[in-house]
Amino acid sequence: MKHLLKMLDLSTEEIFSLLNLADQLKYEQKHGIQHHRLKGKTLGMIFQKASTRTRVSFETGMYQLGGYALFLSSNDLQIGRGEPVQDTARVLSRYLDGIMIRTFEQKEVEDLAKYGSIPIINGLTDFCHPCQILADLMTIREFKGSFQGLKMCYVGDGNNMANSLIVGCLKVGMQVSVACPDGYHPDPAVLEFAKEYGDRFLLTSDVMEAAKNADVMITDVWASMGQEGEAKARQEVFAGTYQINRSLMETAKKDAMVLHCLPAHRGEEIAEDVFEAHADEIFEEAENRLHAQKAVLVKLMEK
């Protein structure tokens, strides 16, 4: 494993190896066991979109691993004024030991990896959010014990979260059902991948059908970063149907857990009472970003 660009690139073995290391690092962190496995290493963090969790968990994670993280806003970098990614990649490769990037186009992340010579980590693109899905899988295993026989249901926009959850959950052996409105389906490349899993994957516009007997219910915002201009039109399509609420939870298993990558829009994709009833799971998920990403950093940057 040289980079973390998208879930599609990871083998099942690589996912489990990352999750096991994440559990170990979480244990060490909780028990005050020092793990300076990246002493003297530097991570550059390029942000072309806003962030709370990704920014803080990567920076803190590098510090806990004995390394250093630099926050690089695209407003300050020459990349924001049009310096080509090929040149940025080759320059930053000479200063840093790794780059985390949050941006719009997946191609930009892939190009950084292509032209640079250091590990690249995708901290969210319009296409996917692999760091989030590793944390989600870690949280599911933590609460449920294993992935064996579990069904994950995603309700909402076929966005970066949907794309990554479909791939990640199928790869670890879960059954996956996704409810999206027509015109808001996951990426065709992801649907092509999911096809190989036969009846372990279902795409429908019917939320009740998708949620039936689910063990894990997941949703995300109706309008992602960069889609602010579409928010009103999307509201009209999604409102009243594509929401995790009490009645949808009754269709899922009694002990179903609920995850949300956050930030959440209460009353839109998730009802306030369901969010609060499952806050322990949702905030453990947010914490697990730290542990899962530290595992990614160690795997990619430890020599």
Q: Enumerate binding residues for ligand NVA (CB under 6 A).
A: 124, 159-161, 220-221, 224-225, 261
Active-site option among 169, 180, 220, 243: 220
Q: Whose structure tokens read 């914490």?
A: 287
Residue with smaller CB distance to ligand CP, 54 or 103: 54
Is residue 179 within 8 A of residue 153, CB to CB? The reply is yes
Q: Whose structure tokens read 């990426």?
A: 187
Q: How far is CA 259 from CA 33, 47, 98, 165, in A?
A: 29, 24, 29, 11
Residue with smaller CB distance to ligand CP, 100 or 256: 100
| Burial classification of residue 12, based on how many CB atoms lie within 10 Å of its CB (0-12 exposed, 13-18 middle, 19 or more buried) | exposed
Give the one entry of ligand NVA, ligand CP, none that residue 301 binds, where binding means its C-beta sits below a cut-off of 5 to 8 angstroms depending on kind: none
Residues 303 and 118: their CA atoms lie apart, in Å, by 12
Give the one entry of ligand NVA, ligand CP, none that residue 64 binds, where binding means its C-beta sits below a cut-off of 5 to 8 angstroms depending on kind: none
Q: Whose structure tokens read 């083998």?
A: 11
Asked if 153 is an active-site residue, the reply is: no
Is residue 164 within 8 A of residue 130, CB to CB? The reply is yes
Among 11, 12, 34, 52, binds ligand CP (CB under 6 A): 52
What is the nearest approach in angstroms of ligand NVA to the Cβ of residue 278? 18
Asked if 261 is an active-site residue, the reply is: yes
What is the nearest approach in angstroms of ligand CP to the Cβ of residue 140? 16
Residue with smaller CB distance to ligand CP, 53 or 141: 53
What is the nearest approach in angstroms of ligand CP to the Cβ of residue 285? 9
- 7 binds ligand CP per the rule CB under 6 A: no
Residues 149 and 173: their CA atoms lie apart, in Å, by 8
Residue 45 carries which DSSP code?
Answer: E
Q: Which residue number places its CB atom closest to ligand CP?
A: 54
Size of the site for ligand CP (CB under 6 A): 8
Among 48, 54, 106, 125, binds ligand CP (CB under 6 A): 54
Among 262, 277, 284, 287, binds ligand CP (CB under 6 A): 262
Asked if 132 is an active-site residue, the reply is: yes
What is the nearest approach in angstroms of ligand CP to the Cβ of residue 149? 27
Asked if 102 is an active-site residue, the reply is: yes
Asked if 148 is an active-site residue, the reply is: no
Question: Closest by alpha carbon to 168, among 19, 280, 2, 51?
Answer: 19
Residue type for position 188? P
Give the one entry of ligand CP, ligand NVA, none that residue 52 binds, where binding means its C-beta sits below a cut-off of 5 to 8 angstroms depending on kind: ligand CP
Residues 3 and 59: their CA atoms lie apart, in Å, by 18
In this structure, are strands 42-47 and 175-179 parallel, antiparallel, or unpaired?
unpaired
Asked if 131 is an active-site residue, the reply is: no
Is residue 244 within 8 A of residue 266, CB to CB? The reply is no
Q: CA-based Rg of the chain, rounded to a whole angstrom?
A: 19
Active-site option among 48, 64, 132, 293: 132
Is residue 161 within 8 A of residue 132, CB to CB? The reply is yes
Residues 7 and 94: their CA atoms lie apart, in Å, by 27
* Per-residue binding letters, 89-128, with ligand CP (x by CB under 6 A): -----------------------------------x----
Among 88, 103, 132, 164, binds ligand CP (CB under 6 A): 132
User: Which residues are annotated as catalytic?
Assistant: 102, 129, 132, 220, 261, 289
- The residues of the shown chain that bind ligand CP, judged by CB under 6 A, are 51-54, 124, 132, 261-262
